[in-house]
Amino acid sequence: MLAVTRYGAANLAVLLSPDDGRPAHQISFGARRRLDPSLAGIGALIVIGFGFGALAPPYYLFVVNTAILAAIGAVALQLLLGYAGQVSIGNAAFMALGAWTAAVLGPTIGFLPSIGAGGAVGALIGLLIGLPALRLAHLYLALSTLALQFIVEFAFNRYETATNHSAGFQLPAASLGPLDLSSDQSWFVLLVLVLALIMLLSWFMLEAKPGRAWVAIREHNVAAAIIGVDVTRYKLLAFTVSSFYIGVQGALFAYYTRVTSAELFTLDSSIAYAVMVLIGGLGSLPGAILGAFIVTLLPLAVNAVGNHMLADSQLGTFVTKNLPFLNQLVYGLLVLAFLYFEPRGIAGLLRRYALGRTGSRQAEARSVA
Amino acid sequence: MSLIPELAVSSLAPASIYALLGVGFVILYRGTRVVNFTQGQLAFIGALIFVTAYDKFDHQFFLAAAIAVGAALLTGVLFHLLIMSPLTGQGFLVLGLFTLIFGFHILGGVVAMIWGVLPFYFRVPLAREAIELPAGAFTSQVDIAIIATAFVVIGALAVWLRFARFGIAMRASAENPTLAGYVGVNVQTTATISWALATVTATIAGIASGARHPIDFSMTSLGLYVFPALLIGGMDSIIGVLVGSIVLALVQTAAATYLGGAWTDVTAYIVLLAVLVVRPYGFFGTPEYRRL
C-alpha pair distances (Å), A58 with each of A64, A121, A171, A234, B110? 10, 32, 21, 42, 34
Please name which of A109, A60, A93 lies closest in space to residue A296, comparing C-alpha atoms.
A60
pLDDT tens-place string over residues B138-180:
777 888 888 999 999 999 988 888 888 888 888 788 777 788 8
- C-alpha torsion sign, points B224, A238, A64, A48: negative
Residue-level pLDDT at B236 = 77
How sure is the predictor about A320, in pLDDT bands with cuts at 50, 70 and 90?
A: confident
Q: What ipTM goes with this model?
A: 0.84
Rounded Cα distance, B266 and B259, in Å: 11
B82, B267, B269, B278: best mutation site toward chain A, by most A Cβ within 10 Å? Answer: B269
Range of A24-28, A47-51, B118-122 with top mean pLDDT = B118-122
User: What DSSP designation does A270 have?
Assistant: H
d(CA B199, CA B39): 7
Task: Give which of A76, A86, A155 is closest to A123, Cα–Cα.
Answer: A76
At residue A204's C-alpha, the angle toward residues A202 and A209, to 5°, is 105
8 A C-beta contact, residue B150 and residue B208: yes
Best of B84, B92, B101 to disrupt the A interface by mutation (most A CBs within 10 Å)?
A: B101
Residue A31 φ/ψ, nearest 5 degrees: -65, 135
Q: Tell me: the pLDDT tens digits for A228-243?
A: 888 888 888 999 999 9
CA distances from A52 to A58, A67, A286, B251 (A): 11, 14, 19, 55
pLDDT tens digits, A99-111: 999 999 888 888 8
Cβ neighbours, 10 Å, residue B142: 18
Q: What is the per-residue pLDDT for B286? A: 65
Cα–Cα distance list, A28 to A8, A12, A20, B31, B227 (Å)? 27, 22, 11, 34, 37
Chain A CA closest to residue B91:
A138
Instruction: Please give the Cα distance from A19 to A334 (Å, whole number).
Output: 25
Cα separation, B197 vs B80, in Å, equals: 11
Residues of chain A neighbouring B277 (CB-CB closer than 8 A): 131-132
- The pLDDT of residue A73: 94
Residues of chain B positioned with their CB less than 8 A from the CB of A325: 108-110, 112-113
Q: Which chain A residues are closer than 8 Å to B92 by Cβ?
A: 138-139
Nearest CA to CA, how far is B273 from chain A (Å)?
6
Q: Residue A6 pLDDT > 70, yes or no?
A: no
Estimate to the nearest angstrom the gap between the alpha carbon of B94 and the chain centroid.
22
Candidate from B224, B277, B280 with C-beta closest to A146: B224
**How far is the C-alpha of A295 from the C-alpha of A307, rounded, in Å?**
19
pLDDT on residue A46:
67
> Per-residue confidence at B95, pLDDT binned at 50, 70, 90?
confident
Contact B266 A151 (CB under 8 A): yes
Q: Regarding predicted confidence, which is higher, B187 or A310?
A: B187
| Cα separation values, B40 from B182, B220, B226, Å | 35, 4, 9
pLDDT of A349 above 50: yes
SS3 A171: coil
**Least CA distance to B97: which residue of chain A?**
A274
Q: Count interface pairs A-B at CB distance under 8 A.
A: 129
Average of pLDDT values for B51-72?
A: 88
Task: Tell me the HSE value of A110 on the side-chain side, using a 13 A CA sphere.
Answer: 8
What's the pLDDT band for A38 if we cut at 50, 70, 90? Answer: low
Q: Smallest CA–CA separation between A186 and chain B, in Å?
A: 34
Q: Which of residues 9-68 of B touch A (CB under 8 A)?
A: 35
Residues of B in contact with A343 (CB under 8 A): 90, 94
| DSSP letter string, A82-136 | IIS------HHHHHHHHHHHHHHHHHHH-HHHHHHHHHHHHHHHHHHHHHHHTT-
Instruction: Please say if the pLDDT value at position B119 is more than 50.
Output: yes
Strand stretches in chain A, DSSP E? 169-170, 174-176, 179-181, 259-260
Q: Average model confidence (pLDDT) for chain A?
A: 79
Note the pLDDT tens digit of each residue in A90-148.
899 999 999 999 999 888 888 888 999 999 999 999 988 877 766 666 677 788 888 89
For A150-167, the pLDDT digits (tens) are: 999 999 988 888 887 777
pLDDT of residue B69: 93
Chain B nearest C-alpha distance from A104 (Å) = 23
- Report residue B44's pLDDT band, with 50, 70 and 90 as the boundaries: very high
Contact (CB<8Å) B101/A274: yes
Residue-wise pLDDT for A61-85, tens only, equals 888 899 999 999 999 999 998 898 8
Give chain B's mean pLDDT: 83
pLDDT at A359 over 50: no
More confident residue, A220 or B285: A220
Which tens digits make up the pLDDT trace of B218-254?
A: 888 888 888 888 888 777 788 888 888 988 888 888 8
Is residue A36 over pLDDT 60?
no
Contact B202, B102 (CB under 8 A): no
Q: What does the pLDDT read at residue A75?
A: 94
CA dihedral over B27, B30, B33, B37, signed as positive or negative: positive
pLDDT of residue A39: 57
Whole-number pLDDT of residue A198? 93
pLDDT tier, A8 (very low <50, low <70, confident <90, very high otherwise): very low
> pLDDT confidence of A343, banded at 50, 70, 90?
confident
CA–CA gap between residue B113 and residue B108 (Å, rounded): 9
Confidence label for A17 from pLDDT (cuts 50, 70 and 90): very low
Say if CB A16 and CB A291 are below 8 A apart.
no
Q: Which residue(s) pair with A170 in the sheet?
A: A259
How close is the nearest chain B Cα to the Cα of A135, in Å?
Answer: 8
Q: What is the mean pLDDT of residues A203-219?
A: 89
Percent of chain B residues past pLDDT 70, beyond the cut: 91
**What average pLDDT does this structure show over B114-141?**
75
Q: What is the pTM of this model?
A: 0.83
**Residue A325: in which H helix or E strand, if any?**
helix A323-341
- Is residue A34 over pLDDT 50? no
Q: State how far Cα A304 lies from the chain centre.
A: 25
B110 touches chain A (CB under 8 A): yes
